[in-house]
Amino acid sequence: MSPPAVVLAADDPEVVRLVRAAFEEEAVPLAVVATTDGATAAGHSPLGIGLGQRAGRIELVLAAASGSPYLVGDDARMMGRIAARLAARRPLGDLP
Amino acid sequence: MVVAGVDVGNATTEVAIARIGPGRPPEFLSVTRGPTTGAKGTAACADGVLDLIDRACRRLGEEPARILLADLHPVETGLRELSADEERDLGGVAVARPVSATPSGVGAAAGRLVDLDGLAGEPLGEPVIPIVPAIDFDEAAARLNDARARGWRVSAIIATADDGVLIGNRVDRALPIADEVTDAADLPRGAWAAVEVAPPGGAVSELADPLRLAVLLALDPARARGARNAARALVGHRAAIAVRGEASGGGSTRDAAPLATLADGSTIAVEAGTAPPPLGRVRTIEGVDAALLDAFWAPLPEPGDDARLALRLRARHAVGLAVLAERSGRDLEDALAERAGCEVVVVAAETAAAVAGASTTPGAGHAPIVIDMGGGTVDLHVGLDDAGRAVAAAGAGHLVDRICGAVLGVDHLRAEQAKRLPSVHVETPFILRHEDGSRTFLEQPAPARAVAHLCLAERRGASLDPLEADLAPEVWARLRRAAKRDVIAGNLRRAVEAIGGLPRGELAVLVGGCAEDQEVVDEVALALADLDLAIARGDILGRHGPRAAVAVGLVLLHAEAA
């Protein structure tokens, strides 16, 4: 069985580092896959929450509404924090 | 002849246009309402009155020959907030309460505040609390580990950024680390301080205890007593920082509550711990520049089953206050007469008009008991015999708004919505939890700003307005109902006592804006349950609900007299 993780689809090491840091701070599990498509990531996430990269930006996608991203931002740490808090059901804080 | 009955309330102005003539009942042509455009009874209200009349008359193609008014008494409603615990003399102890959801470690520790850069030198011979600026967490952790390896005794950490867990995981998971301390730059370097982090879901216990706080900050017993306000200011917070400063007066200074002078010359403090006197006894209140007919105050409601929240609310030292002032002039009448170009007649007291209007409710016949719950007052009129009795008690819908606003930390316009609308907690972008604990699923995801927040829900959740208050919908609903009970039902009991009681088994008709609120109707029914009354909501002219009773009643009374 897959762990109840949010899935990050990214190949940029700095994006991966910053998103991992956000998830570590929030104590929420994160899995990383090698694609960059947020909708695919959300589909792989048991929590239905995925992060992907498109045109240099970070997309947060919900599997239940994967037709368009839920949020898009440039700050990988912020987008990671939002995704982690969404999974943990905490207030999301600053938004892009 | 066409007349306009006008009821100028504290929030809403209502106008009933009717054609009247000898020997026949009034023919009501229009009933409209809009916002009151000034303090009740002042000339500024004329704008709103004339706007409503103009709009109605343009539609009808007729101008009123007379404007009919009730005898008005203005009501002022406000929130009196004495200095909160954290704003008082804290006995020389500064406090900070970071709002981070993810501090690190558990427990309390004390030490001397030092900058992270200060750890580059030789270790101090005592514990320290480094203040980490907003730098990369890996770099911060490396410098902290280096300092510890060189003999620095780090007892706790204060981080500016949201990096508490990241630093803790790389340094020591047991160390209490308060993060997201945005005002860390203001902490006095070199001062002795204490940091506490509670487990998830908990609240600080060491710093919220004045003796433990004194021990951690090495305060002598006299100063320990003076630190009680500082300790109280930290109750209910997951992470907290306390810093020892210069000794001050000992924490005994506090704002004095304003005094109310009663009809017999005695005085009483207007504060949360003092019950307002019976109706009509207050003559003046310090800071209120008017002779008074009545005053009423109520503290912020307290949840009976949550001591931590109750203490936080009590620490505000806030009371909602409503005063009913005597009227010195006829400004509104004069302004209307001058600008409308027609006769302006004061027909009756508001309560008498309310009874006449309420009696148009289908099935009511003559309404013997009318309870008019508006924005400013709860009016009780009893007309069981020829000599009707009526009282007006200061404090109604607006006072509930003020109290709701103080609990939620919102302005009175949003408070008015919060009083009226149901709330939900947005658990996930797709799931709403309602005030009764039930859940519904959204077809479209909720906005990100609403997630994990208490929200006001309009149109069954189609519109979500997030609030900052950290309250569950079940808790907020109890506080909201308690505010309505304390103010409106409590004030109604005062009115009942002032009028000498009510006969059992009679019909009581509820009118006014508050009567549209089912929670208020329920609280009134509960407050009067011992009287076994038939409590019914008014439906003015059979089509306007509980609104416009006074405006319609003025027309009826005027037609009757004519």
CB pairs under 8 A between A and B: 52
> Same domain, yes or no, for B267 and B197?
no
Output the pLDDT for position B81. 63
Return the CATH number at B200. 3.50.30.70
Q: Looking at the partner chain, which of A62, A89, A95 has a beta carbon nearest the beta carbon of B452?
A: A89
The answer to whether B449 contacts A82, with C-beta atoms less than 8 Å apart, is: no
A62 interfacial to chain B (CB closer than 8 Å) = yes
> Same domain, yes or no, for B147 and B227?
yes
- Please write the tens of the pLDDT for every residue from A19-46: 999 999 999 999 999 888 999 999 999 9
* Average pLDDT for runs of 10 along chain B of length 562: 92 93 92 89 90 92 92 68 57 75 94 96 94 96 97 96 96 96 90 94 92 90 78 88 73 70 94 90 89 91 84 83 81 88 88 89 88 90 76 91 93 92 95 95 94 89 86 95 95 93 91 94 93 93 95 95 80
B182 interfacial to chain A (CB closer than 8 Å) = no
Q: Looking at the partner chain, which of A24, A27, A95 has a beta carbon nearest the beta carbon of B448?
A: A95
> Same domain, yes or no, for B133 and B262?
no
Alpha-carbon distance of B194 to B514, in angstroms, equals 49
Instruction: Report which secondary-structure segment, H or E, holds B141.
Output: helix B137-149
B134 interfacial to chain A (CB closer than 8 Å) = no
Question: Which tokens hold the place of B223?
Answer: 């100063």
Q: Identify whether B502 is part of a domain.
A: no
Comparing CA positions, the residue from B491, B487, B495, B453 lying closest to residue B300 is B487
* Residue B253: other Cβ atoms inside 10 A: 11
The answer to whether A70 contacts B449, with C-beta atoms less than 8 Å apart, is: no
Output the pLDDT for position B251. 47
B180 interfacial to chain A (CB closer than 8 Å) = no
Report phi then psi at B557, rounded to 5: -65, -40
> Same domain, yes or no, for B460 and B357?
no
B166 interfacial to chain A (CB closer than 8 Å) = yes
> Same domain, yes or no, for B202 and B235?
yes
Domain final residue pick, B450, B468, B486:
B468
> Same domain, yes or no, for B100 and B211?
yes
The answer to whether B452 contacts A65, with C-beta atoms less than 8 Å apart, is: no
Output the pLDDT for position B301. 93
> Same domain, yes or no, for B106 and B221?
yes
Alpha-carbon distance of A5 to A3, in angstroms, equals 5
Alpha-carbon distance of B220 to B240, in angstroms, equals 21
Residue of chain A nearest B467, judged by CA positions: A91
Question: Which tokens hold the place of B316?
Answer: 């505000």
Output the pLDDT for position B250. 47
**Contact indicator for B229, B90 with CB cutoff of 8 Å:** yes
Q: Identify whether B59 is part of a domain.
A: yes
Sheet containing strand B267-269, strands side by side: B267-269, B259-262, B282-285
B467 interfacial to chain A (CB closer than 8 Å) = no
Distance (Å) from the alpha carbon of B524 to chain A's nearest alpha carbon:
37
Output the pLDDT for position B252. 47
**Contact indicator for B515, B373 with CB cutoff of 8 Å:** yes
B-chain CB neighbours of A25 within 8 Å are 102, 162-166
> Same domain, yes or no, for B158 and B219?
yes
Alpha-carbon distance of B380 to B389, in angstroms, equals 8
Which residue bears the tokens 């009970």? Answer: B485
Give the bridge partners for B34, in sequence order.
Answer: B13
Q: Identify whether B118 is part of a domain.
A: yes
Alpha-carbon distance of B80 to B270, in angstroms, equals 9
Alpha-carbon distance of A6 to B47, in angstroms, equals 58
pLDDT band at A1 (very low <50, low <70, confident <90, very high): very low
Comparing CA positions, the residue from B246, B88, B96 lying closest to residue B156 is B96
Output the pLDDT for position B458. 84
Alpha-carbon distance of B67 to B58, in angstroms, equals 16
> Same domain, yes or no, for B187 and B286?
no
Which residue bears the tokens 């009809």? Answer: B263
Q: Identify whether B372 is part of a domain.
A: no
Domains of chain A, by residue range, sit at 6-88
A-chain CB neighbours of B451 within 8 Å are 86, 89, 91-92
Distance (Å) from the alpha carbon of A67 to chain B's nearest alpha carbon:
12
Alpha-carbon distance of B73 to B233, in angstroms, equals 40
Output the pLDDT for position B248. 54
Domain final residue pick, B433, B468, B503:
B468
Q: Looking at the partner chain, which of A26, A70, A82 has a beta carbon nearest the beta carbon of B102?
A: A26
Which residue bears the tokens 């304390």? Answer: B486
Number of domains in chain B: 4
B448 interfacial to chain A (CB closer than 8 Å) = yes
> Same domain, yes or no, for B229 and B93?
yes
Q: Identify whether B99 is part of a domain.
A: yes
Domain final residue pick, B215, B244, B273:
B244
B451 interfacial to chain A (CB closer than 8 Å) = yes
Return the CATH number at B352. 3.30.420.40
Alpha-carbon distance of A62 to A39, in angstroms, equals 7
CATH no. of A6-88: 3.40.50.10150
The answer to whether B428 contacts A82, with C-beta atoms less than 8 Å apart, is: no
Pair type for strands B75-81 and B107-115 = unpaired
Name the residue range of residue B453's domain. 410-468
> Same domain, yes or no, for B234 and B105?
yes
Alpha-carbon distance of A40 to A52, in angstroms, equals 8
Comparing CA positions, the residue from A81, A93, A25 lying closest to residue B164 is A25
The answer to whether B453 contacts A90, with C-beta atoms less than 8 Å apart, is: no
Q: Looking at the partner chain, which of A26, A70, A91 has a beta carbon nearest the beta carbon of B452?
A: A91
> Same domain, yes or no, for B3 and B146?
no
B-chain CB neighbours of A92 within 8 Å are 448-449, 451-452
The answer to whether A89 contacts B428, with C-beta atoms less than 8 Å apart, is: yes
Distance (Å) from the alpha carbon of A23 to chain B's nearest alpha carbon:
10
Q: Identify whether B549 is part of a domain.
A: yes
Distance (Å) from the alpha carbon of A26 to chain B's nearest alpha carbon:
6
Burial status of residue B326 (CB atoms within 10 A of its CB: 0-12, 13-18, 19 or more): exposed
Give the bridge partners for B392, in sequence order.
Answer: B379
Helix axes B473-484, B518-527, angle to 10 degrees: 60
Return the CATH number at B450. 2.40.50.140
Q: Identify whether B202 is part of a domain.
A: yes
Output the pLDDT for position B183. 86
Q: How far is C-alpha B214 from the chain's CA centre? A: 35
Q: Which of residues 231-260 of B touch A (CB under 8 A)?
A: none
Top residue of A17, A25, A45, A75 to mutate, by most chain B CBs within 10 Å, is: A25
Residue of chain A nearest B445, judged by CA positions: A65
Cα–Cα distance list, B330 to B4, B66, B73, B94 (Å): 18, 17, 11, 53
The answer to whether A70 contacts B445, with C-beta atoms less than 8 Å apart, is: yes
Q: Looking at the partner chain, which of B430, B449, B452 has a beta carbon nearest the beta carbon of A64?
A: B430
Is the pLDDT higher at A87 or at B331?
A87
Q: What is the ipTM of this complex?
A: 0.92
